[in-house]
């Protein structure tokens, strides 16, 4: 079968032939429909993040997948079920985090991530997975099911942020998303659908005309250009934010978020930057945190519960939004186009097979 991989020392994805995997006990064989591409995939390909499976020199890419059960084996799934796989797997033997259904909270070393670190991903014609890591989705979502994983990541971060403000009456009105990549725009879409927020903002560094600015404004949010209004100026130029959702991976934003927050506000950091040394006024930021009850948290990955929430959210997002966000779906023959990253690209996917509805 065809598989899209990155090789040790390589800096581009390549198409390889691999044997179709055999499902083990408790596993289903899934025929892959589509697999999305995100900033993490680009970081893995560039060699700045992730790991090869032990003893191997090549990694099958892809962690945002949707497929159809081909062989349900001994699982409670049925052939034809449309499923989305979660990303994390226990590295060796049992793990308390996985047993609790909270693999997203496991520390480094206690998990592999399919397509990212230690285990092959889903960018192949077939993949196998234990039933516990497959989330069923409605047939109607088969085409956009590869968005369930990134939406689940946003769901988890928003849940953590709200939980950190749950000991008092937190009534957020304003939110700022840092980053107009696919994760940032999906988070903005969730915030816009939630009705909790009266005013939304999204920060980027693009000139108009730009498709991401169009999406931001169609969602009713205000576009903030970081070249004119850097994050430390947002509170005075726009307004102090009750919530900041960071999805740029730009390390200074982690600290500048503290200045953008309103008293009692919370910032959720999701970007994964490279190491970078720079100066900050630690005293001023520490003081700002304490005297205004601000919170900053990191959030990574997501669990089955967040995938289920994402499935519901995705079903309620308007068609125009999904049409505008998904700027390209490419057959395996032209897979390289899915990894392009110019300003006309928002979200792309590779299609391994077409979905045919059950009768
Ligand atoms: P992406 O497509 O690369 O998006 C990043 C966006 O941030 C781009 O649109 C980029 O703008 C913008 N940006 C970067 N620096 C900026 C700055 N200084 N000012 C304004 N805008 C800036 O990546 P993604 O897939 O959306 O993911 C976003 C980040 O989250 C990445 O770091 C990724 O690794 C991370 N991530 C984390 C999780 C998690 O579980 N925590 C999950 C998925 C992704 P331009 O395009 O104009 O350069
Ligand atoms: C994936 C997450 C993963 C994170 C860190 C993200 O792109 O969507 O599932 O935990 O990268 O590797
Ligand atoms: Zn991802």
Cβ proximity of 171 and 262 under 8 Å:
no
Ligand nearest to the CA of 184: 1
pLDDT at residue number 358? 67
Residue 118 in contact with ligand 1 by CB distance below 6 A? no
Pocket probe mutation, ligand 1, options 86, 204, 303, 327, max atoms within 8 Å of Cβ: 204
> What are the percentages of helix, strand and coil residues in the chain, rounded to 5?
30, 30, 40
Helix (H) / strand (E) containing 265: strand 261-269
36 lines ligand 1 (CB under 6 A): no
CB 14 within 8 A of CB 90: no
Predicted local confidence at residue 92, as pLDDT = 83
Check: CATH 3.40.50.720 for 152-298? Answer: yes
Q: How many CB atoms lie within 10 A of CB 166?
A: 8
Going by C-alpha positions, the residue among 121, 120, 186 that lies closest to residue 147 is 186
Atom of ligand 1 nearest to the CA of 252: 18
Please state the atom number of ligand 2 nearest to the C-alpha of residue 104: 10
pLDDT averaged per 10 residues in sequence order, the chain, 359 residues: 98 98 97 98 96 98 98 98 98 92 96 98 98 98 98 99 98 98 98 96 98 98 98 98 98 98 98 96 98 98 98 98 98 98 96 85
348: its two tokens? 């792309």
Q: For domain 2-136+318-351, give the CATH superfamily.
A: Medium-chain alcohol dehydrogenases, catalytic domain (3.90.180.10)
Chain centroid to CA 317: 16
Provide the phi-psi class of 293: left if phi over 0, else alpha when psi is between -120 and 50, else beta: left
- The CA 177 to ligand 1 mean position distance, Å, reads 11
Residue with CA nearest ligand 1 atom 20: 204
Residue with the smallest CA separation from ligand 2 atom 12 is 116
Q: Give the Cα-Cα-Cα angle 252, 256, 258 (nearest 5 degrees).
A: 135
Query: Domain map of the chain by residue range?
Result: 2-136+318-351, 152-298
CB within 5 A of ion ligand 3: which residues? 38, 40
């Amino acid at each position: 079968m065809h598989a899209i991989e990155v090789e040790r020392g390589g800096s581009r994805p390549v198409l390889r032939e691999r044997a179709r995997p055999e499902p083990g006990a408790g596993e289903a064989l899934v025929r892959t429909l589509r697999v999305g591409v995100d900033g993490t995939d680009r970081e893995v390909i560039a060699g700045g993040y992730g790991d090869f499976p032990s003893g191997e020199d090549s990694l099958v890419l892809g962690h945002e997948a949707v497929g159809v059960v081909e062989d349900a084996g001994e699982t409670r799934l049925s052939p034809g079920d449309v499923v989305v796989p979660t990303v994390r797997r226990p590295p060796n033997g049992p793990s308390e985090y996985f047993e609790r259904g909270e693999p997203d909270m496991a520390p480094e070393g206690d998990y592999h991530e399919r397509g990212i670190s230690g285990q092959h991903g889903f960018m192949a014609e077939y993949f196998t997975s234990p039933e516990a890591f497959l989330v069923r989705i409605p047939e109607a979502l088969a085409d956009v099911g590869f968005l369930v994983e990134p939406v689940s990541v946003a769901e988890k971060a928003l849940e953590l942020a709200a939980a950190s403000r749950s000991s008092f009456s937190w009534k957020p009105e304003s939110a700022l998303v840092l980053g107009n990549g696919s994760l940032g725009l999906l988070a903005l879409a969730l915030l816009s659908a939630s009705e909790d927020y009266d005013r939304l903002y999204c920060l980027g560094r693009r000139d108009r005309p730009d498709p991401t600015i169009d999406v931001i404004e169609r969602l009713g949010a205000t576009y903030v250009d970081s070249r004119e209004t850097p994050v430390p100026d947002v509170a005075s130029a726009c307004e102090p934010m009750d919530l900041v959702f960071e999805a740029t991976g730009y390390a200074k934003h982690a600290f500048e978020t503290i200045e953008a927050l309103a008293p009692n506000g919370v910032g959720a950091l999701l970007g994964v930057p490279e190491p970078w040394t720079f100066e900050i006024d630690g005293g001023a930021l520490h003081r700002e945190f304490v005297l205004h009850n601000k919170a900053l948290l990191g959030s990574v990955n997501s669990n089955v519960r967040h995938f289920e929430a994402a499935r519901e959210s995705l079903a309620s997002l308007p068609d125009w939004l999904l049409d505008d966000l998904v700027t390209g779906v490419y057959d395996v023959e032209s897979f390289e186009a899915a990894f392009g990253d110019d300003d006309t690209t928002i979200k792309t996917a590779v299609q391994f097979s077409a979905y045919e509805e059950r009768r």
